[in-house]
């Protein structure tokens, strides 16, 4: 069951709380290279604190500073080439076809 986005006073879920504490389901749809979340990626979506997107890819930032990516591989949906560098991620910015992560020094 999905919970509705709170409409009172235009509130949004707190970015400091775990999304799964507030929302009970992950629902995505669309082209497999865009909105669709492959089952292997769904299994990694725990403790998500923020979601980011560009035109055809998505990034979920977890409370531990790791990321889960999906969507078009050429637009940032495949982060396997930089996974070793995506540690202690603090914030993410997106463009039309790429992402940039700011990471805290270990």
Confidence class for position 54, pLDDT limits 50, 70, 90: very high
- Whether 44 maps to a domain, the answer reads yes
pLDDT at residue 47, rounded to an integer: 87
pLDDT at residue 52, rounded to an integer: 94
pLDDT at 81 over 60: yes
Q: How many Å separate Cα 93 from the centre of its chain?
A: 12
4-49 pLDDT, tens digit per residue, is: 334 334 444 444 444 444 444 566 666 666 678 888 888 888 889 9
Q: In Å, how far are 8, 49, 62, 79, 102 from 105, measured between CA atoms?
A: 39, 20, 17, 19, 10
Domain enclosing residue 38, as ranges: 8-103
Phi, psi of 37 (to 5 degrees): -100, 110
- Whether 54 maps to a domain, the answer reads yes
- Whether 41 maps to a domain, the answer reads yes
- Whether 82 maps to a domain, the answer reads yes
- Whether 87 maps to a domain, the answer reads yes
By three-state DSSP, how is residue 46 classified?
Answer: coil
Number of domains in the chain: 1
Give the mean model confidence (pLDDT) for residues 67-79.
93
- Whether 1 maps to a domain, the answer reads no
Q: What is the pTM of this model?
A: 0.72
DSSP state at residue 89: E
């Amino acid at each position: 069951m999905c919970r509705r986005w709170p409409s009172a006073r235009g509130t949004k879920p707190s970015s400091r709380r775990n999304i799964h504490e507030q929302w009970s389901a992950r629902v995505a749809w669309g082209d497999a290279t865009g909105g669709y979340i492959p089952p292997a990626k769904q299994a990694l979506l725990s403790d998500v604190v923020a979601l980011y997107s560009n035109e055809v890819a998505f990034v979920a930032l977890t409370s531990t500073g790791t990321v889960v990516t999906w969507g078009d591989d050429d637009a940032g949906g495949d982060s396997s080439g930089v996974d070793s560098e995506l540690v202690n991620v603090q914030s993410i910015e997106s463009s039309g076809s790429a992402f940039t992560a700011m990471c805290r020094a270990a």
